Structure 1
Amino acid sequence: MDPLSDVLSLLKLQSYVSGGFDAAGDWAVKFASFDGIKFHAVLRGRCWLSVDGEPEPLEVTEGECFLLARGKPFCIASNLAAAPVAFGTLVPQVRDGRIVTHNGGGEFLSVGGYFTLADGQADLLLNVLPAVIHVREEPGPSTLRWCIERMRAELREAQPGGAIVAQQLATLVLVQALRLQLAGGRNEAVGWLFALADKRIRAVINAMHETPGAKWTVQTLAEQAAMSRTSFALRFKELVGLSPMDYLTRWRMNLAAARLTHSRDSIAEIGLALGYESEKSFSAAFKRIMNCAPRQYGRQPPSHA
């Protein structure tokens, strides 16, 4: 797999489409803080989005969507001057089990949902994302537009397997949003996700992810990038925000954390698979990154049939 797929798989990403919101007139609806990532896709009309702590409201129009990655309370509105009401007070006003209506509906329609991430690993993605991602129409054939139209169809007429279809559509929206972030050329952005836009650094991150247990050195990683050792080390640190060996160690420890939680492998076996010749050296690295010893980390009790 590629690094983005690796990370999303490690995070055990689960997507949920919670339903639609149909409104008319002057309105404003506030949403409480949350865990994970929330998204809204605008199917009809337009709205303003304001997020706690963000300086400017954002206008989101039909065919666009937004993702929120920091869990901050937010408000969507047709009119920023309207007095906001809590979304929870509107939930009883459901038209058909899937769409919440406000002021009779008919002018604005959105579909919302959220993504949950594995406990203890979520920062791997959340820490490199901006608080607000505004996903606009991309040039050429639009994956985003297709997803939104399919969401509209699923809302309009329930079909067998609709929940699974909605989850897959939501996941496509997230991946497309992340791809567009990369394609947007945000030169000031730092982190593994944005480093994937650089072909040479992407090749190195690919190599680390494909064989995390290899005996990597800065020199052998520089060879993957076809760069000199010094130029590579400087470029990697500039784009990723970590030295090559620091990134490798953190990726190894994230993999180790997942195996400690979800497998029966011994600590020595996990350490050896990730390039550590002794349990002692692996345990020291794990404790330095994860702030606890491997033996103290998330082992699940064995299940009983």
Structure 2
Amino acid sequence: MTDPAQSKSHDKGPTQRPADAWVSSDPLGQALDFLRMDGVFYCRSEFTEPWGLDLPPMPDCLMFHVVTEGRCVMLTSDPEPLDLQQGVFTLVPHGEGHVVASSADAQATNLFETERYHVTDRYERLVHGGGGTPCQMICGAVHMDHPVAERLISLLPQTVRFDTSDPDRGDTAQGILNVMASEVEKPRPGSEAVIARLADTLVIQAIRTWIEDEPAAQTGWLAAIKDPQIGQALQSLHQDPERPWTVEDLAEQAAMSRSAFSARFSELVGESPMRYVRSWKMQVAAALLKSEGATVAELAFRLGYESEAAFSRAFKRVMKVSPGSIKCDP
């Protein structure tokens, strides 16, 4: 596995659409559409008991594991080990360091001290263990840098689990998992692109399942995204952050009066519409500074500020750092 910071692709900044772009009737679907991932690495792991693998933290990455044969446990900062069964897709949304092992008391070896075979620059095969009962997994880490995606991910818990064998939800996911396992086991021309797309799909499936089932997902920003009227206003803003939005403009998108919109927006989101607009513009600016190396002058003009100084003050007020401190990723 190479340094994740060196493996990211940075040719895609935040999605920008013209103000007159078609607005979907599914704002949550549009938010999920922003979950466009750049694969950092993927690995087919072949373990035999006893075994343990210590994975380092990967900031700004979502890490995932799915057992294709056998079972194992995952140890995080939570005191209780998490059982990983065959067919269960487990997502570690915040890139937290953790251990996967044959049992909670198995000795764990650092990832970088294990025997790994590089299939391609981003694909590896890992073989490790004491020769006992086998366990096979597909693991990976993906990165996404769109502000909508970052906001959505920030709301997720320490781990998210999705059972691909669930007959009510998992038929398609199980098929995807089978294809992914085949592509990793026997790479062919285009396997890298296929696995990346399949991983995207499983990550989205896991997050979508959490949103549907988790009570915490029925409040706050996610509730606002799913609201038939507030969601339309948020979607329009997310699509066109460069527009000089006013409360009246957003209320129009929601087909509500200004006062009713402001009250409903504040109730769901937890902040006023214009405060959210200012915050959103700065998050977009930060993403553009990272992904495109945009200049402060360019962003000040694009986002409707009178001067670089005014933009810089607004940026620091929201992001707590100056725009000049944000470096473009190599």
Q: Distance in 2 between matches of 1:265 and 1:49?
A: 41
Residue equivalent to 2:6: none
Q: Distance in 2 between matches of 1:220 and 1:172?
A: 34
CA RMSD of aligned residues (A): 3.6
Residue equivalent to 1:283: 312
> More displaced, 167-176 or 213-222?
213-222
Q: Does 1:249 align with 2:249?
A: no
Residue equivalent to 2:12: none
Residue equivalent to 1:5: 33
Select the residue among 66, 70, 76 that pairs with 2:94. 70
TM-score scaled to structure 2, two decimals? Answer: 0.73
Q: Distance in 2 between matches of 1:34 and 1:269?
A: 31
Q: Distance in 2 between matches of 1:50 and 1:152?
A: 24
Residue equivalent to 1:271: 300
Letter in 2 for 1:63: G
Select the residue among 17, 40, 55 that pairs with 1:31. 55
Letter in 2 for 1:88: L
Residue equivalent to 1:104: 131
Select the residue among 80, 96, 114 that pairs with 1:91. 114
Structure 1, gaps ≥5 residues long: none
SS of the equivalent of 1:98 reads strand
Give the drift of 1:182.
2.1
Select the residue among 170, 175, 179 that pairs with 1:146. 175
Structure 2, gaps ≥5 residues long: 1-14, 16-29
Residue equivalent to 2:155: 128
Q: Does 1:45 align with 2:70?
A: yes
CA offset digits 1:142-201 (Å, max 9, x no partner): 443222111210132121232232222222222222222222243366564564333333
Select the residue among 160, 173, 179 that pairs with 2:189. 160
CA offset digits 1:233-271 (Å, max 9, x no partner): 444344434332222212211222333455586645433
SS of the equivalent of 2:96 reads coil
Distance 1:160 1:278, change over 3 A: same
Letter in 1 for 2:111: G
Give the drift of 1:93.
7.0
CA offset digits 1:198-243 (Å, max 9, x no partner): 3333212111012223332334323433445455444434443433
TM-score scaled to structure 1, two decimals? Answer: 0.78
Distance 1:265 1:116, change over 3 A: closer
Distance 1:14 1:58, change over 3 A: same
SS of the equivalent of 1:41 reads strand
Give the drift of 1:113.
0.8
Give the drift of 1:112.
0.5
Letter in 1 for 2:84: V
Q: Distance in 2 between matches of 1:215 and 1:48?
A: 50
Q: For this pair of structures, how many residues does the alignment match?
A: 295
Give the drift of 1:43.
1.0
